[in-house]
């Protein structure tokens, strides 16, 4: 039994290339291609493995893309349990524009998953829950019912296992209705979920606290892009400014942030240090292209550059 189980219901083979400038109509001649094993929970597992955690990635896998995805994970030494599906794992295609240093990300819907494949996933995860943390990260492929995460959250709750959630759409809403230990949205996702508009960071804190007071999460960690992030609980909140780095990509920073938070939590650190570790891991991920994600040495270096302050009027 592993300490952390990371579930991914719509993993992808991440394909990254570069282009001088993205333009319509013309054939665009791209640069060299990088392939990485992708998907929210897969990426969290990759980072936790690098940080020395006992972690297992469980994800749906099928076809030639699935085989390549697994080969890349095996090369990194990440332990996996594959839920076989008949369809081919999809690819996620990203282009880094050299002129602007912007990333253009094309996310395909993923393969259609059959009911018996979903049930096999539910059965395996329920029978093999981790000792310490269940991470549910990413969206769902077509065919995955909206209550899938909620079913697993209730199973984990029955065993006293905290759940860390990073998702979107109908899958997210039902998951939050079941209640999780920690929910990690970005600012845009939080706005869409709550129907609020944010004029400042205090508005973000109040929206996050509303989820906590409604019993949807004990903690909400909101990433604010270049403004940093906040971590909000029922009676306290903290804010961290972004670490200043020269980014080679923006892809994978959110997943690295989640891994950093889980890493600090597993070490018994207090909540402000969860935020600090999340910020360090997210910043470290910006140093590498595509979804290469963060390296442990860079995370530890970045920790010295992260400052966390209490939001004293968080309950206002």
**Alpha carbon 163 to chain centroid, angstroms:** 13
**Other C-beta atoms lying within 10 Å of the C-beta of residue 222:** 25
**Other C-beta atoms lying within 10 Å of the C-beta of residue 180:** 27
Catalytic-labelled residue, pool 255, 273, 298, 313: 255
Contact 242, 228 (CB under 8 A): yes
Those residues whose C-beta lies under 8 Å from the C-beta of residue 254, and which sit 6 or more positions away, are 166, 184, 186, 223, 282
Apex 137 CA angle, 284 and 91, nearest 5 = 80
Which of 6-36 are b and which e, b meaning 16 or more Cβ less than 10 Å from the residue's Cβ? bbbbbbbbbbbbbbeeeeeeeeeeeeeebbb
Catalytic status, residue 103? no
Say whether 263 sits in a helix, a strand or coil.
helix
Report d(CA 258, CA 263) in Å as an integer: 9
Query: Which residues participate in catalysis according to the annotation?
Result: 255
């Amino acid at each position: 039994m592993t300490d952390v189980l990371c579930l991914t219901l719509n993993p992808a083979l991440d394909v990254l290339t570069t282009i001088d400038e993205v333009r319509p109509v013309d054939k665009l001649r791209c640069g060299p291609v990088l392939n990485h094993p992708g998907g929210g929970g897969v990426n969290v597992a990759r980072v936790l493995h690098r940080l020395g955690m006992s972690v297992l990635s469980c994800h749906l896998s099928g076809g030639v893309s699935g085989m390549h995805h697994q080969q890349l994970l095996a090369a990194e030494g990440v332990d996996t349990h594959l839920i076989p599906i008949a369809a081919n794992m999809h690819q996620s295609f990203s282009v880094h524009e050299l002129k602007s240093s912007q990333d253009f990300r094309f996310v395909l819907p993923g393969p259609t998953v059959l009911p018996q494949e979903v049930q096999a996933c539910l059965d395996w995860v329920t029978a093999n829950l981790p000792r310490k943390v269940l991470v549910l990260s990413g969206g769902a492929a077509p065919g995955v019912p909206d209550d899938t995460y909620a079913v697993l959250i209730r199973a984990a709750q029955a065993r006293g296992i905290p759940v860390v959630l990073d998702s979107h759409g109908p899958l997210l809403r039902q998951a939050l209705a079941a209640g999780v230990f920690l929910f990690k949205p970005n600012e845009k996702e939080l706005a869409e979920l709550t129907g609020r508009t944010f004029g400042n960071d205090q508005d973000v804190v109040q929206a996050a606290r509303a989820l906590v007071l409604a019993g949807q999460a004990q903690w909400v960690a909101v990433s604010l892009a270049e403004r940093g992030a906040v971590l909000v609980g029922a009676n306290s909140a903290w804010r961290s400014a972004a670490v200043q780095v020269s980014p080679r990509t923006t892809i994978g920073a959110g997943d690295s942030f989640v891994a950093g938070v889980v890493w600090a939590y597993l070490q018994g650190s207090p909540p402000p240090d969860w935020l600090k570790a999340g910020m360090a891991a997210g910043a470290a991920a910006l140093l590498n292209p595509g979804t290469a994600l963060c390296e442990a040495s860079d995370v530890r270096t970045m920790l010295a550059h992260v400052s966390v302050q209490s939001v004293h009027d968080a309950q206002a």
